[in-house]
């Protein structure tokens, strides 16, 4: 096994270089970053291919085969990022600056850090002459994750299934330590919620704004809707991931209201993170009505970002709406209908992750979680029903409360110690799985 210090150094240097490629999506512009990764991986014996749906935005597939049958292990990552406003940052977001033991820059957590750690691990062990004894190692770095993966993971899995088919995927989604009530838990993302964004429309009758009661103002009808969404939420519902998670925190999943209240009393921050695991969430984000200030609108539209527990569909959204605002007085038009999916949590891969966590952080535990957001793991589970996809990037030096606000936020950074920790995990995993 490569030394931790060497892995840390190499992952740090690579992350700095990756951050300096501005891969803000849109437009993404991932070509140069992907070419660097390709060149590095080819240098230690990987067969590499750049596969692009559109010019200048390739996905990288790097492969190392063995002579015998065995599991195909895919380490996954995306190289695009969201935007950054330099005025809000203390450093240049594309500097990759090293400060206070951290690498700073857009993508330092989401997720050039993991791409760098996975690559550093592969470069180190393959550079020492290691080759899989069985199965196959595949590194896949996608473009276009941040705007929905139409040119990235979705396209790859649908258009080139033979190039990316695998049995195990390790991707982003969880792994940062959470301290709660004397317990330390590391999430392993085994599922993502579905995405059901929609527009809610209210209708009335147009008229001159100088005589308010002459018309029927559709915008005003949004007030009770907004209030209900702000004050209420659908009743909590249990599913396998929150059940395991609540148990790991020492709480009773049989009483969800009580469990969340118990969490809130000890640490309100944890309650905020746990709640979305327990059902449909409805977040109003955009509103529009009249196009003229002196015209009472006959129609108002509210855009709602809605996330639904894995394997549930549109009916779960409509039922949540009925619960909160009744059935009448509005219409719903869906823009996205992506049903979330999950992998089983009780597997040898989970065992390996647990063993790593227990060894690195005695007393701590690895716990399956469902991601309120979305990730590329979805496309692998959907295209290859037997494929097990987990999100795990272990972080111990920076905890969840520090990391979470930095993702897509200002001053995104990652401790170099965590880059070394993660790279060690990936190196170990490759050796253990592919033997
Ligand atoms: Zn990401």
Mean per-residue pLDDT, 82-99: 98
Query: What does the pLDDT read at residue 377?
Result: 98
CA of 30 relative to ligand 1 center, distance in Å? 14
CA of 203 relative to ligand 1 center, distance in Å? 38
Tokens of 305: 């970002």
Catalytic residue among 80, 301, 412, 418: 80
CA dist., res. 128 & res. 414, Å (int): 27
CA of 171 relative to ligand 1 center, distance in Å? 9
Query: What does the pLDDT read at residue 336?
Result: 92
Q: What is the percent of the chain where pLDDT is above 90? A: 100
Is the pLDDT assigned to residue 147 strictly greater than 90?
A: yes
Catalytic residue among 30, 110, 145, 146: 145
CA of 1 relative to ligand 1 center, distance in Å? 28
Is the pLDDT assigned to residue 253 strictly greater than 90?
A: yes
Element spanning 282, H or E: strand 281-288
pLDDT tens-digit map of 188-233 = 999 999 999 999 999 999 999 999 999 999 999 999 999 999 999 9
Query: What does the pLDDT read at residue 169?
Result: 98
Q: What angle do CA 276, 157, 39 make, to 5 degrees?
A: 105
To 10 degrees, the CA torsion angle through 423, 41, 429, 14? Answer: 10
CA of 76 relative to ligand 1 center, distance in Å? 11
Query: What does the pLDDT read at residue 105?
Result: 98
Query: What does the pLDDT read at residue 123?
Result: 98
Query: What does the pLDDT read at residue 360?
Result: 98
Is the pLDDT assigned to residue 1 strictly greater than 90?
A: no
CA dist., res. 297 & res. 294, Å (int): 9
Is residue 243 part of the annotated active site? The answer reads no
pTM over 0.85: yes
pLDDT tens-digit map of 377-418 = 999 999 999 999 999 999 999 999 999 999 999 999 999 999
Query: What does the pLDDT read at residue 183?
Result: 95
Nearest to 203 by CA among 187, 186, 222: 222
Is residue 145 part of the annotated active site? The answer reads yes
Q: Are 53 and 150 in contact (CB under 8 A)?
A: yes
CA of 270 relative to ligand 1 center, distance in Å? 21
Q: Which of the pair, 112 or 1, is modelled with greater confidence? A: 112
Tokens of 53: 């749906």
CA of 254 relative to ligand 1 center, distance in Å? 33
pLDDT tens-digit map of 322-334 = 999 999 999 999 9
CA of 84 relative to ligand 1 center, distance in Å? 14
The CA-based diameter of the chain, rounded to the nearest angstrom, is 81
């Amino acid at each position: 096994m490569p030394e931790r210090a060497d892995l840390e150094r190499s992952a740090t240097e690579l992350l700095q270089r990756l951050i300096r490629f501005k891969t803000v999506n849109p437009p993404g512009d991932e070509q140069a970053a992907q070419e660097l990764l390709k060149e590095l991986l080819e240098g230690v014996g990987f067969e590499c291919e750049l596969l692009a749906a559109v010019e200048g935005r390739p996905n990288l597939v790097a492969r190392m085969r063995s002579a015998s049958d065995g599991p195909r292990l895919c380490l996954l990552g995306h190289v695009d990022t969201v935007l950054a406003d330099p005025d809000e940052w203390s450093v240049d977001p594309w500097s990759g600056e090293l400060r206070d033991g951290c690498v700073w820059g857009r993508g330092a957590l989401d997720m050039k850090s993991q791409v760098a750690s996975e690559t550093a691990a592969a470069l180190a062990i393959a550079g020492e002459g290691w080759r899989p004894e069985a199965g196959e190692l595949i590194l896949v770095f996608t473009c276009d994750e941040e705007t929905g993966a139409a040119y990235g993971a979705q396209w790859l899995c649908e258009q080139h299934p033979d190039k990316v088919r695998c049995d195990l995927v390790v991707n982003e989604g969880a792994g940062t330590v959470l301290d709660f009530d004397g317990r330390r838990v590391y999430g392993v993302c085994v599922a993502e919620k579905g995405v059901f964004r929609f527009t809610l429309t209210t209708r009335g009758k147009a008229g001159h704004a100088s005589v308010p009661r002459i018309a029927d103002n559709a915008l005003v009808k949004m007030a009770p809707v907004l209030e209900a969404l702000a004050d209420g939420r659908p009743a909590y519902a249990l599913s396998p991931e929150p059940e395991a998670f609540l148990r790991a925190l020492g709480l009773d999943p049989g009483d969800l209201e009580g469990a969340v209240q118990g969490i809130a009393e000890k640490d309100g921050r944890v309650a905020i993170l746990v709640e979305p695991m327990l059902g449909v969430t409805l977040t109003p984000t955009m509103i529009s009505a009249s196009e003229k200030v002196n015209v009472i609108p006959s129609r108002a539209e509210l855009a709602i970002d809605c996330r639904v527990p894995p394997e549930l569909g549109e009916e779960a959204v409509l039922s949540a709406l009925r619960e909160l605002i009744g059935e009448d007085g509005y219409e719903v038009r869906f823009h996205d209908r992506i049903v979330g999916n999950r992998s089983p949590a009780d597997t040898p891969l989970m065992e390996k992750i647990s063993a790593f966590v227990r060894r690195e952080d005695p007393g701590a535990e690895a716990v399956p979680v469902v991601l309120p957001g979305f990730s590329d793991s979805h496309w692998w589970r959907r295209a290859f029903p037997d494929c097990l996809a987990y999100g795990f990037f272990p972080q111990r030096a920076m905890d969840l409360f520090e990391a979470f606000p930095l993702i897509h936020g200002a001053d995104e950074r990652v401790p170099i110690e965590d880059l070394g920790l993660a790279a060690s995990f990936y190196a170990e995993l490759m050796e253990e799985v592919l033997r």
